Chain A
Amino acid sequence: MGILRFLAKRLLFSVFVLFGLSILIFLISRVLPGDPVRMALGPRAPEWAVQNLREQMHLDKPLPVQYYYWLVGALHGDLGQSLFTRRAVIDDIKEFLPATMELALFAGVIMAIFGILFGAIAGRYNNTWVDNVVRVFSYIGVVTPSFVFAILFLLLFGYLLGWFPTAGRLSPWVPRPPVITGMVTVDALLTGNWGALGDALWHMVLPAVALALGGMAQEARITRATISDNLKKDYIASAKGFGVPERLVMLKYLLKPSLIPTVSILGLDFASLLGNAFLVELIFNWPGFSRYGINAMLRKDLNAIAAVVMVLGVVFVTVNIIVDLVVAWLDPRIRLGAERGK
């Protein structure tokens, strides 16, 4: 009961956040220097053509009116037309978002599992050689941008060793499974096409790992710190002192309270993968959303910019709600506070 009310409250709050975000991005994209229509049509297009397109996109109207048109369209699922692809922005998103979503989800899973695993081991055996190894690697992971990993992996595992493919989502000889979600792995899974599933996963390993390493290092550092901190808590000593087996104390009574900070950061790290995947997508020739977003900004493709930002906004808000739910499940102190209507 308490959890439903909590959820309803968060959803309502999210609507306001997204509304605010839409105004902000709408204004920012329109005060950027440069005439988007002129940029789209090129320097040699006649003035009347530019004027026409401008009218067609309501760019000749005052800002509040423009925003009104955009909002009404957006609420009906119409995010306008891209100035470059000349297609509905929503179709572009449908094409590019699943590719990045898939990559980010895969990277997110790697980040969560290995980050927590390495962090927990380092924390449990803190100040031993295992801990030192994990700490050194997580420093490197945190400070190295993902494109460096991407290039290294591409050279080493792609070209020199040839273990993994270097570009794209599927090998040319593998037919693409029918589009259901747009995520190749999920579509292959749904249609029972194991060959395509394997091939798609194989293509995803390098870009996903390159993308995941930074967050993974961050998760490992946070988990290590909380675990080694909580290891000294009285409740661990008392559980052991009462005769509870060591393994149960570690895997249950130490791990659960120690995951709370990690989960909070994990959510943020996951959401930012979507936006930050740009260089990795470029290096592995991954036809993704992040690349689409950057191109939209460089070309001042107004509707595409607004749409990209709104999609990222929705992802952030959703991930945050999920994180809050998981944290509330992990931590009764927060859950009980929420139920009391705090």
Chain B
Amino acid sequence: MGGALLAIRDLFVEFKVYEGKLKVLNGVFLSVREGQRVGLVGEAGCGKTTTMKCVLRILPSPPGRITKGEILFRGEDILRMPPRKVQRIRGRGISMIFQDPTAALNPVFTIGDQLMTVIRYGSHDSLTRREVRQRAIKALAEVQLPDPERIMASYPIQLSGGMRQRVCIAMALATEPELLIADEPTTNLDVTIQDQVLRLLNELVVRRKTSVIFITHSLGVVREMADWVYVMYAGNIIEGGPKGDLFREPLHPYTRGLMRAVPKLTGGGIAEGIPGRIPDYLDPPPGCRFHPRCEHAMPRCSQKNPPFRPVREGHEVACFLYQE
């Protein structure tokens, strides 16, 4: 593992809405090293997808606005790059699988049209029309779709949900990106095929040694698919570290609550939840955004947002409990 491939530092994002400004990201820190599989865990609405859209500079704006921070890809700040350069990073440098394959595929163009466009513009090398087509068919075969020729001529509505997500995986990997962002790629699929798709995705990235950011709200998935884990809460990364260490000894009260909330196979009644709910982004609590729900809250928790700091080798946390 070399240096950081991607480093997000102190990222702030606001959404302008009728009622005011939603302060969605509140200083996000995250980094991915080459060949690393990073899991990003958090409740729905905590800002995982927003963060990733910033990485590709595809956050719809308006209403979204990045107010502060930097996103370094191979040492260069994506947020301050000219659009041309950003476009060269998209596809061949970083690509993304969206949560809902039905929404991510254009309903009025064939799979072949969309996949070939992605290959033509996102590939490292310039290809002839025939080579583009061959690569598209190969990409579909690689995600184990039967009869790729027929899939190429199909429209998204002619495919099942699982097939659509395989198509999206094929699209994301066809340009051989260095970093793949997988945003809850199985949340919208039937439970019976979630496992298949996950396994396939894991196999493909391990074989290609692609770095991955795997977004999920399931700790089980992270346990299987990631080497490194970040936990996000209400617009902040609150804890991050090597998987083993983090699962063995979670530090942040929120992470601990999250682990307790996983139902155990051995029974013992319903799992505990975390009391309270995710804060209102229009008027978030001052200081640490978790403090109103935290059983260890101290006076200063409501005054200052705790910095994200290493506690021991590689294991970082944003909590005053661990800072003198």
Contact = CB atoms under 8 A, between A and B. Distances in A.
Given A241-B95, A243-B92, A332 B121 contact: no
A237 B106 CA distance: 11
Interface stretch (A182-190, A228-236, A318-326): A228-236
21 contacts: A231-B60, A233-B103, A234-B104, A235-B107, A237-B53, A237-B56, A238-B58, A239-B118, A240-B58, A241-B56, A241-B58, A241-B96, A242-B175, A243-B95, A243-B118, A243-B122, A244-B118, A257-B108, A331-B107, A333-B107, A336-B158
Contact of B106 (A232, A245, A253): A253
A335 to B, nearest CB: 9
Contacts of A256: 108-109
A39 interface: no
A15 interface: no
Given A234-B100, A333-B157, A239 B122 contact: no
Given A238-B96, A243-B87, A248 B117 contact: yes
A127 interface: yes
A239 B108 contact: no
The list of the 3 closest CB pairs from A to B, nearest first, reads A243-B91, A243-B122, A243-B90
Nearest to A238: B104
A243 B121 contact: yes
Nearest to B122: A243
A239 B56 CA distance: 11
Contacts of B53: 237
B249 to A, nearest CB: 36
Interface string B11-28: 000000000000000000
Given A235-B106, A242-B91, A332-B155, 17 more contacts: A234-B98, A235-B105, A238-B104, A238-B105, A238-B168, A239-B114, A241-B96, A242-B95, A242-B175, A243-B92, A244-B121, A248-B117, A253-B109, A332-B110, A333-B108, A333-B155, A336-B155
A54 B316 CA distance: 100
Contacts of B89: 243
B91 A332 contact: no
B140 interface: no
Contacts of A246: 83, 87
A51 B218 CA distance: 91
Contacts of B121: 242-245, 248
A13 B180 CA distance: 52
Interface residues of A, number: 26
Greatest chain A CB density within 10 A among B62, B98, B108 is at B108
Contacts of B122: 242-244
Contacts of B104: 234-235, 238
Contacts, number: 92
B60 A331 contact: no
B172 to A, nearest CB: 7
A233 B156 CA distance: 15
B171 interface: yes
Contact of A242 (B62, B88, B157, B171): B171
A244 to B, nearest CB: 5
A257 B106 contact: yes
Contacts of A233: 103
Interface string B56-83: 1010101000000000000000000001
Contacts of A126: 62
Interface in A312-340: 330-333, 336
Contacts of A237: 53, 56, 58, 60, 98
A332 B98 contact: no
B90 A331 contact: no
Interface string B157-182: 11000000000100110010000000
A232 B98 contact: no
Q: Determine which residue in A234, A246, A248, A256 has the highest number of CB atoms from chain B within 10 A of its CB, and name it.
A: A234
Nearest to B119: A242
B60 A232 contact: yes
A239 B58 CA distance: 10
B112 to A, nearest CB: 13
Nearest to A337: B157
Interface in B86-140: 87-92, 95-96, 98, 100, 103-110, 114, 117-118, 121-122
Contacts of B83: 246
Interface in A167-184: none
A331 B89 CA distance: 32
Nearest to B60: A232
Nearest to A256: B108
Contacts of B107: 235, 257, 331-333
B263 to A, nearest CB: 31
Contacts of A257: 106-108
